[in-house]
Structure 1
Amino acid sequence: MKPYRSNTSRKFPFTKKAIEALPAHDPASPSREMEYADIECIGLHLRVSKNGRRFFQHRYRYLGRKMCLSLGEFPAVSVQDARSRVAEHKALLARDKDPAAERGKVRADLTFEEFSTQHYLPHAKAHKQTWDDDKNQIERRLNPILGKLRLQAITPRDVAMVHSKEKERTTACTANHLLATLKRMLNLAVKWGLLEKNPAGGQEKFKEGPLRERYLSKEELPKFLKALEDQDDLLSVAALRMLLYTGCRREEIMSLRWENVRLDEERIFLPKTKNGRSRTVHLNARAKEVIQDLQARKDQEDRTRGSEYVFPSRQGTKKGYIYDLRKPFEKACLNAGIDNFRIHDLRHTFASMAVSSGADLYAVQRLLGHQDIAMTQRYAHLNADDLKKATEGVSEMFDRAA
């Protein structure tokens, strides 16, 4: 590719694939960036830096002056988003209004709540499987404190206050999760040209204690299973059983579709997991029994008849599948006399039982769908007996060699 010349640009129809294929600008070039122009949207340009970052901008004239307005960074801002913004700017120019001045007014008045509702959440819904978690954090934790503040008026002190209050209310770990969400939101605001700088960028995480480890003991397990049997909501109980018998994440089981169930092969397919990858989950006898029972009753109840989901929600709910299992879960824990136990701890229980039954950590990693073995290391202490046997075996080999 020829070196960039300051007054030239490359022209082609912008597409996601074409932009992703563009190389970083030549590090040896005297110019800072390479610039490209979209031939399907006059005025839309793309700057590519030497480190490979890509930024949309709109070049236009206003009152005879050349103007340039940043539209945000690709891919956080898509090609369609960028073209839509250029179209909005052209509509303003047709009314003799400067898009830069108008955006300045919007930026000056935009509150955090408006930003989260109008900008961040639609983006998260389209790009993040667990966007509902962000929505809950925003509505319950962030908006009550930051919601009415102008986005541009939020300071590092405001961020520190949110972080500290969450730690006082919950734990350092939960507070750090909230901080991560806030940082991610404000980073996007910067990329989209709504903020000059992220006020949360310098806020450091709290030091976290040891990872919480809670799973059902040998004494608690039969009590919990018995407490599930005594409940009337059979579908929710079946969902809780599947979480316990497979070790899957809640969203993975709740959103399970019948088309991804392979009973003859004793497995289910998860097309999209938390880490963005698909995976196959092998069904043990208990899990297979739950699915078989649901399949047998599928056409006998109005709620399940014709649904694509294994665990369909009641009519009128936003999701097509069950999401909230708190009531039946908390009732089971109460009746079983089990304290300090969360739904996610069913996953820990499955993992602890797998390790205790002799599975090595790499097998458990695959069972849980962990991308990093470090996440599975928390269960390492549970196979201490196996480690002791291994080191004694090495000792015996030394004895024989002596």
Structure 2
Amino acid sequence: MVMRFSQRISPPNIRKLQVRGAGGKLRTVFDLRYRVYFTDGTSHRAHTTHKSNAEALGEYTAASAAVARNEYGVTLTRKEKNALAVFTLADAAEEYQRRTAVSQAPTTHDCERLQIVQLLKGFGADTPIADITAEDVRRYIAKRKDKPTAVRHEIGVLGRIFKVCHEMGIVGEKSPVAGIKLPRKPTPEIYYLSADEASAVMHTAESLAKSAPLNLRTYDAMIYPYCVLSIYTGARPCELARMRWYDIDFNNGIVTIRAVKTEQSRVMAWAPAAVYALQWWRQWLKDSERDAKRTAKRGERIADRVDARRRVEQLKAIKSSGLALPCFESPGEKPDLKKALNRVFIAAIGRKERAYIFRHTFATLAVLNGAPANIAQRLLGHSTLAMTTRYTRIKNTPEVAVIEAISQKLGQNWDKNLKSQTNKKARSISESEM
């Protein structure tokens, strides 16, 4: 009983299986996109079948099933079974999810599961993975052109699924996703807080923090320094989550922000309000630790003493992490401030907003108050000036000002009809010349 197996032969999408069964007859099965080749070991002559895809698929599937049922007296490994199987998109997606379950964060894994559901609807769960072509991918994109961001994520997942299938030897090296032009994401509208709204948010956050109890059940106390630092530094939420106490120089009023996105650090001066907010927060942590230790020893109720001991352990972990604005449950991760932020926004400005609006506010107010674009770029930690102008809503402003100045010099009125009038005049001149 002899079996020789090879996953890839030139060209790479051929699969080959050689089996010598109990009768001593050698049979080789080749698969090249549903063109099936059989080789008889006795005569060593190849018999080819150039049939329709459906007939060839049925013949090849029957031969594969015979091997899988062990009719030839051989035992296949899992890798060999994968090469013989007609893998559908659902099978491939399941294998991809199984492989990434450990390496991915739970939220990412759940998001990709929803994206896979959309892929199965669009391409068909029972579609063989090897049958999906670049034209199929383009048709899928055209059907969902109204959701460009979702499509980009879904096609990205499909590409990773094909990569896993290539590693298993089920498809060739070239993925149908490669070279596909994805729909562009529309530039989002940038919203920011006015100066009055930003001040109201900081005052509301301060009031909420100073009335918060000395426990770690909510982030009501931490939301005050978070809002103030976000508005006065324009730091990204991930940068604030990684800020450590040794990055803050209280004596000189400066802070080092270690950028996660561009992997560069920047040093910024601090406003007195930011320094005060951080000093208050550091004192609050000390008071909370002192209160927890006292309650753990002298608490009237057993539940209070147990909760206080747990809080002491949490505060020790927070202190050892060195983080200025840590996650209470797991220091080192990004804190979930959504509930506390919503309370502050609704009380201050009457609507909910995202934390990233603080960064837009810092950039916009800086430029509106005379900061050059290159200075704003340095403060925000952007890699390009184009990104800064998009955030600060000043794109094309210098060009428009120049054109307006020239128009006024020439005595023309700068209005919306000027362009259409110019175009009509150009057309009339071209028609007269003809």
**TM-score bracket for the superposition, by shorter chain length:** 0.5 to 0.7
1:257 pairs with one of 224, 235, 244 = 244
Is the aligned partner of 1:182 residue 2:157?
yes
> Post-superposition shift, 1:350?
0.7
Alignment partner, residue 53 of structure 2 = none
Pairs within 5 Å for 1:329-344: 329-339=341-351, 341-344=353-356
Q: Determine if the alignment matches structure 1 residue 358 to structure 2 residue 333.
A: no
Specify the alignment match of 1:235 in structure 2: 222
Give 1:226 deviation, angstroms: 3.0
After superposition, the CA RMSD in angstroms is 4.5
Cα distance, 1:145 vs structure 2: 3.4
User: 2:266 aligns to what?
Assistant: 280
Is the 8 Å Cα contact of residues 260 and 270 (structure 1) preserved in structure 2?
Answer: yes
Match of residue 394, structure 2, among 381, 384, 398: 381
In the alignment, which residue of structure 2 is the partner of 1:137? 111
For 1:153, the equivalent position in structure 2 comes to 129
Give the whole-Å Cα distance in 2 for the aligned partners of 1:331 and 1:261.
28
Counterpart for residue 100 of structure 2: 119
Distance 1:242-1:136 versus aligned 2 partners, 3 A rule: farther
Aligned to 1:367: 379
Residues 28-72 of structure 1 show CA distances to partners (whole Å, capped at 9, x for unaligned) of: xxxxxxxxxxxxxxxxxxxxxxxxxxxxxxxxxx99xxxxxxxxx
Deviations 1:222-275 (A, max 9, x none): 332233234231113322332222111111111222343333443444445113
Q: Deviations over 1:91-114 (max 9, x none)?
A: xxxx98668525537994854254
Deviation, structure 1 residue 327: 0.9
SS at structure 1 position matched to 2:353:
coil
Q: 1:89 — aligned with what?
A: none
Q: Does residue 1:328 correspond to 2:340, yes or no?
A: yes
Calculate the TM-score normalised by the size of structure 2. Answer: 0.53
Shift of 1:340: 6.6
When residues 138 and 99 of structure 1 are mapped into structure 2, their CA distance, relative to the original with a 3 A threshold, is: closer
Distance of aligned partners of 1:294 and 1:132 in 2 relative to their CA distance in 1, 3 Å threshold? farther
CA gap 1:386/1:324 in 2 versus in 1, 3 angstroms: farther
- Deviation per CA, 1:295-337: give whole Å up to 9, x if none: 333333245442422122234x4x5344222111122222223
TM-score for both structures, normalised by structure 1: 0.56
The 3 A distance-change label for structure 1 pair 230 and 199 is: farther
Q: Could you give the per-residue CA deviations for residues 156-185 of structure 1, whole angstroms, max 9, x where no partner exists? A: 7579768966x76xx64x436535753663
Match of 1:310 in 2: 324
User: Cα–Cα, structure 1 residues 340 and 152, in superposed 2: closer, same or farther, change >3 Å?
Assistant: farther
Q: CA deviation at 1:186?
A: 4.5
Q: 1:261 to 1:339 in 2, by over 3 A?
A: same
Distance (Å, rounded) in 2 between the aligned partners of 1:320 and 1:190: 35
Report the 3-state secondary structure (helix = DSSP H, G, I; strand = E; otherwise coil) of the residue aligned with 2:266: strand
SS state at 2:326 partner: coil
SS at match of 2:363: helix
The alpha-carbon distance between structure 1 residues 182 and 222, as it changes in their structure 2 partners (threshold 3 A), is same
Write the deviation string for residues 14-40 of structure 1: whole angstroms up to 9, x where unpaired: xxxxxxxxxxxxxxxxxxxxxxxxxxx
Kindly state the Cα deviation for residue 349 of structure 1 after the two structures are TM-superposed. 0.4
Cα pair distance change 1:146/1:175, threshold 3 Å: closer
When Rg is computed on C-alpha atoms for both structures, the one with the higher figure is 2
Contact 2:226 2:325 in 1 (8 A): yes
Deviations 1:354-380 (A, max 9, x none): 112211111111111111221112225
Change (3 A) 1:297 1:333: closer
1:293 to 280, 287, 311: 280
Secondary structure of the 2:243 match is coil
- Residues 232, 274 of structure 2: 8 Å contact kept: yes
